[in-house]
A and B are shown apart, each in its own frame.
Chain A
């Protein structure tokens, strides 16, 4: 009987929540109508009419707005993937470095942690953007890392496969204003990649350190007693056990890092907030729809990341624990 009433209470709460959402939706719709503001998602099929400097799929000013949205989403995901990769590598190296018996290595790791964890990430991004931009050489005095890898204040240029008749490798060639051909990473991308990775890498290093420290001392000693090399103990004995402690907090950092890519809007990297909430909202004048799409994107991807990490976590959890 008690169980039954709890069930109905939950149903009631659920219904109330749905009713609230419907009410907000209807009120918004009728308010916008009263204001004479057009609403709806038809604007997604209109011609965009603006250019985006970095696009991973074909895009021109004649493409529809949904294509601009796709370009912006891909740019967001590209940045997120690059950041998650670099921050993970940094975090792993520094986290293990913290545990090193080598005084210099462990102190350097600690210095990295304290420096980057204690400064707001937006300031770090501005630092890398404005300082690095001014420090990099201009076009005429570009740095040639190799013959085909060129760095200047317009970005990092490298050869890229060009699809035309079949495909060929096109190297960057100097034009009047900039290098042309090949592919390049914008300074905005580089600043964000470095800034977000260094900041979040510091958090990951702490997670990694605590993960390894959670592995019982006896496990390390047992590994050593079996005559395994220290590296092998680390890889085969400690790491798999540490992973269990690492994954749940790591999921949080990955999700935060993904959401923090929206800071890109502050320095002109064309991701979803800059392109969609900025440019498209201004052209289409549909703030409610634009915000809804953007929020759905962030919530959806965050949910996906959490779900995947949750499944991985489940697979490695010890039975009975």
Chain B
């Protein structure tokens, strides 16, 4: 037994995380018919998994407060369930450990950065809660390299991070076009980008939202160019454990509420006034004035109101975190503006 322990490779945090999660899977006894909602209400805190240091998605400001798109996703669920968007215990994870941490009950929800794919949905014992951001995998190159389109990268060395669909997208794209390339695979985006900046690679690839956030934050962003095309669809969705349909519904409708609020024209600023005077029956049901929709989910009736007043509607959240990075709504605009964001109706 001791030799086995001695044979454990000396590893950094990532791999310890996986090993730890594997051990958790050994010993955790899964409760059949898990009831995440009761657990969260009893605890008074939402355990939310976040990937750290990802500009636009998850950062920490000078006062030590977390902010970003992913953080607001956590806050959305907390506002709906607990009525307090800040009643959150953040659990920092990395892409390699995310699924295992969620499987073994370390967090209640992982609301950020997981692309919704068939195999993940069917084999991991996890449920997706609906796409809330549509991105794609893009490339950054040095302007001096003269590369302006993805096909120019024939023969290039490309840095990429593990724990995402990026490695496979890259392989699929180049293989389908019989283009040569060599790949350098890093454990996380930070190291991969650093290696690209040290000229280890001709290009770095990841999903465009996080790419834009990181390039803007560089000392000399004008030396780099993010190519216009993307090579994949990356619909991001929240993830919860399989086998708890009520909790999955709660997370789905919480995200849906932000899009609905934008469709209704409800904002952080006007939602209180609108709740008092609106005659629209759907908005009244949405805000909990009538219909008792919150109870249907096992929540308070003002659950959606709390989301809008504390976190904002989808457009406000998007603008707060992605507009400073120069990113446009694009696919993430409302359906009536030519995007893909559409709220399921409240009736």
Contacts and interface: CB of A to CB of B under 8 A. Distances in A.
A31 B30 contact: yes
Given A51-B170, A277-B15, A35 B242 contact: yes
A24 B32 CA distance: 19
A295 B8 contact: yes
Interface in A236-252: none
Interface stretch (B196-204, B212-220, B256-264): B196-204
Contact of B11 (A265, A279, A299, A303): A265
A178 interface: yes
Interface string A243-270: 0000000000000000110110111101
A48 B14 CA distance: 22
Nearest to B31: A34
Contacts of B242: 35-36
B28 A31 contact: yes
Contacts of A50: 167-168, 170-171, 185
A259 to B, nearest CB: 5
A122 B124 CA distance: 33
A268 B186 contact: yes
Nearest to B12: A266
A260 B11 CA distance: 9
B62 interface: no
A177 B202 contact: yes
Nearest to A61: B171
Interface in B156-170: 156-157, 159, 162-164, 167-168, 170
B12 A34 contact: no
| Residue from B124, B167, B191 with most neighbouring chain A CB atoms (10 Å) | B167
B156 A287 contact: no
Contacts of A122: 10, 12
B7 interface: yes
Contacts of A278: 14, 96, 162-163, 185, 187
B184 interface: yes
Interface residues of A, number: 62
Contacts of B22: 287-288, 291
B187 A154 contact: no
Contacts of B30: 31, 34-35
Nearest to B163: A282
Contacts of A318: none
Interface in B53-103: 95-96, 99-100, 103
A234 interface: no
A294 B18 CA distance: 12
Contacts of B104: 35
A299 B4 contact: yes
Interface stretch (A107-115, A130-138, A216-224, A225-233): A130-138
A285 B184 contact: no
Given A49-B168, A180-B155, A281-B18, A31 B25 contact: yes
Contacts, number: 180
B195 interface: yes
A299 B2 CA distance: 11
B168 A176 contact: no
A76 B123 CA distance: 29
Contacts of B21: 287
B18 A36 contact: no
A317 interface: no
B198 A133 contact: yes
Interface string A143-177: 00000000001100000000000000000000111
A298 B10 CA distance: 11
A35 B241 contact: yes
Interface string A271-308: 00111011101111101101100110011001100000
Contact of B19 (A36, A265, A291): A291
A287 B183 contact: no
Contacts of A259: 7, 9-10
A274 B154 contact: no
A305 B314 CA distance: 59
Q: Which of A133, A177, A188 has the most CB of B within 10 A?
A: A177
Nearest to A297: B7
Given A28-B25, A37-B103, A268-B184, A177 B157 contact: yes
B146 to A, nearest CB: 10
Interface in B110-148: 119-120, 123-125
B182 A282 contact: no
A185 B6 CA distance: 30
Given A266-B12, A278-B162, A299-B4, 11 more contacts: A31-B26, A36-B125, A36-B243, A178-B182, A259-B7, A262-B9, A277-B15, A282-B99, A285-B124, A288-B22, A291-B22
Instruction: For the complex of A and B, list the 7 residue pairs with the smallest distance between their C-beta atoms, beginning with the closest.
Output: A262-B9, A37-B125, A36-B125, A34-B30, A50-B167, A61-B171, A278-B162
18 contacts: A31-B28, A50-B168, A51-B181, A51-B183, A177-B156, A180-B155, A262-B15, A268-B184, A274-B162, A274-B187, A277-B18, A281-B96, A282-B164, A283-B119, A285-B123, A287-B18, A288-B22, A295-B4
